[in-house]
Amino acid sequence: MFEQIERVPGDPILGLIDAFNQDVNPSKIDLGVGVYRDAQGHTPILRAVKEAEALLLARETTKSYIGSHGDPQYGQHLLSLVLGSQSPVLEAKRACATQAPGGTGALRLAADFIHKTLPQAKVWVSRPTWPNHLSIFEAAGVPTRDYAYVDAATNSLDFESMLADLQEVAAGDVVLLHACCHNPSGFDLSEHQWQKIADLAEDKGFLPLIDFAYQGFGLGLEEDAYGVRLLAERLPEVIITSSCSKNFGLYRERLGTLIMVAANHDQMQNVKSQVAVVARANYSNPPAHGGAIVTTILESTELTAYWLQELDEMRTRILDLRHAFVNALKPQGLGDKFACIAEQKGMFSYTGLTPEQVDRLRDEYSIYMVRSGRINIAGINDQTLPYLCQAIAKVCQ
């Protein structure tokens, strides 16, 4: 039967990894893969994580299942981290947390939940959005529409067009929003713009699904949660997907959380029961190790302090790189063209480079990035920055 199966193209971002690894140019630069890198080009294990794992090695007594919702202690810590320790939503017991295999796993849980319990709903995603969003909802059988987000002509956030498109969303539809560090553009909503979105959600009756993959990588741990907390407190129902890949550096541990906010405690319990059914049919039980690491860190004053310091260092490094990148392009006459990069947030940036320019950077200079022109700022360091800027200047001539 397998002779009837056709080969399909691989994931374009994962394909960049293979192409980069096979490239023999010693000056090659990888700006495609979305992982944090330090000044030496490594993706480090955080000190807080290493010490938490050492404690786990000594303390862990079982490898038994942790249940479809995951470790309850982990869930409580993530609810406080995302919604705030003094959240009125938590005080009213309106929210529940389900541990998932990565932020992607949490998104798939959300998609399956929508398909199962809200079968008439469409999911609206920003234009552009993380490409895997579309794949996840397609795989779950959930139809999608899109709304304006970036003005390609000016490479800037087009909030007025975004609001205009969201006026067309029907009551009961789902709108996917990026909490911070928008992937792939790096353009984030201001507090005032978040308030406008909350007003519109109340007026139109749509359900926000907030992808919160980069908490702490934008303005700060608390600041990045502004939109999430605003919508959770003002609206009766919100879905949130959180990831620990970036802010804890737990990429390969695959640790995420699906947070469901309902109008009251009874409705939350109903929703929680449905999520358990969805999780059971998907992967049954989530992996335990990553959640145990985060729980160990957040239950220790000392380890939490280490983690907050390391998170601050990662965020500051990315911000410094943004400004260094723009400044290094000024002698090439490109400072104004790429000035928006210093205004964006998080690891990713829309550069405004065309697919043809991206191809030239790869073929002529061994600089790898997604053909949309999105780059991972954390893939730059002081040694590669001059070469990168010279190459960009060449392809922009």
Residues serving a catalytic function are 130, 211, 246
The three-state (H, E, C) secondary structure of the chain, written as one string: CHHHCCCCCCCHHHHHHHHHHHCCCCCCEECCCCCCCCCCCCCCCCHHHHHHHHHHHHHCCCCCCCCCCCCHHHHHHHHHHHHCCCCHHHHCCCEEEEEEEHHHHHHHHHHHHHHHHCCCCCEEEEECCCHHHHHHHHHCCCCEEEEECEECCCCEECHHHHHHHHCCCCCCCEEEEECCCCCCCCCCCCHHHHHHHHHHHHHHCCEEEEEECCCCCCCCCCHHHHHHHHHHHHCCCEEEEEECCCCCCCCCCCEEEEEEECCCHHHHHHHHHHHHHHHHHHCCCCCCHHHHHHHHHHCCHHHHHHHHHHHHHHHHHHHHHHHHHHHHHHHHCCCCCCHHHHCCCCCEEECCCCHHHHHHHHHHHCEECCCCCEEEHHHCCCCCHHHHHHHHHHHHC
Residue 166 CA to residue 168 CA, distance in Å, equals 5
Cα-Cα-Cα-Cα torsion 345, 208, 283, 94, nearest 10 degrees, comes to 110
Q: And the tokens for 147?
A: 């709304």
The two structure tokens encoding residue 47: 């000190």
Q: Tell the residue number behind the tokens 């998080």, with chain if given.
A: 346
- 67 touches 98 (CB < 8 A): no
Dist. CA 272–CA 212, nearest whole Å: 20
